[in-house]
Amino acid sequence: MNEATANKPPRHVAIIMDGNGRWAKQRGLPRIEGHRAGADSVRAVVRACRESGVQYLTLFAFSTENWVRPQDEVNGLMTLLLTFLRSRERELHENEVRLRTIGDLSALPGAVRRELDRVIESTRPHGRGQLILALNYGGRAELVRAARGIAREARAGVLDPEAITEASISGHLDLPDVPDPDLLIRTSGEQRLSNFLLWQLSYAEFLFTPVLWPDFREKEFHEAIAEFERRKRRFGDVK
Ligand code: FPP
């Protein structure tokens, strides 16, 4: 492949950050230490996005299924999120990154919700990049929310069911203005979608790496981007 056929850097990268628990276990540490090291990878990857021109980064931080984990792990993850928001807000401002979320935030602890609301609001004017945290997120639940929104409009008589298109569905997702991801990365060797961005990943390139999330830093991110640029995307065409 020559330069002319290589992909441009992805505009939007989505990541399933997997392997924190195994990383901790390998070191004889409690699982939460894996999540803590994983939070440092979040910071590194946000920085790497800026260097590689990636404008949107969506991270699967807490799924609708994660509530069944031991209570102390759930609490630990919520505390880590709070710490991240408090300690990294300045960096988000310096890098002109806007924080946003997808998922149903109503089930999160009040302190986390308040801190999220505050940082989302304070970073709203930034236009250089967007860090999107998927929290209490599930792709099917998001599609249910979209279906309800569409049905409400149909019932109110403002939308003709026959006029519903793919764009209507995209337009009722949690963040309708965000372009679909170009690249999905999942770390730790697992090769599943786990209910992440089911609608939005239709045309994304998938990249699975054996590297555990706490070991996934700038270098690994740049390698993933380079791999994406070498792939040829056809979107159903022959080319
Ligand atoms: C999967 O690893 C990871 C998670 C369920 C949570 C991801 C959370 C973080 C990286 C930390 C905080 C997030 C932010 C945004 C600051 P796992 O526990 O399933 O790993 P395992 O499969 O090895 O057990």
Per-domain residue ranges for the chain?
12-230
Q: Find the 172 Cα to ligand 1 centroid distance in Å.
A: 28
Atom of ligand 1 nearest to the CA of 60: 7
CATH of region 12-230: 3.40.1180.10
Buried/exposed code over 66-86 (b: 16+ C-beta within 10 A; e: otherwise): beeeeeeeeebbbbbbbebbe
The alpha helices in 66-159, defined as continuous H runs, are 71-94, 110-122, 139-155
Taken in order 118, 121, 125, 129, is the CA torsion positive or negative? positive
On whether the CB atoms of residues 176 and 202 are closer than 8 A, the answer is no
Active site residue 66: yes
Active site residue 182: no
Measured from the Cβ of residue 218, the count of other Cβ atoms closer than 10 Å reads: 15
- Contact 99 CB / ligand 1 (< 6 Å): no
Q: Which pLDDT score is estimated for 1?
A: 46
Q: Report how far apart, in Å, the C-alpha atoms of 190 and of each of 17, 158, 206, 208, 212 are.
A: 10, 44, 12, 7, 10
Is the pLDDT at 138 greater than 50? The verdict is: yes
| pLDDT tens readout for residues 12-63 | 999 999 999 999 999 999 999 999 999 999 999 999 999 999 999 999 999 9
Q: Find the 29 Cα to ligand 1 centroid distance in Å.
A: 15
- Contact 66 CB / ligand 1 (< 6 Å): yes
| pLDDT tens readout for residues 53-76 | 999 999 999 999 999 999 999 999
On whether the CB atoms of residues 108 and 136 are closer than 8 A, the answer is yes
Atom of ligand 1 nearest to the CA of 25: 23
| Nearest CA-CA partner of 18 in 52, 68, 59, 56 | 59
Which among 7, 66, 95, 195 is annotated as catalytic?
66
Query: Any bridge partners for residue 15, and if so which?
Result: 59, 185
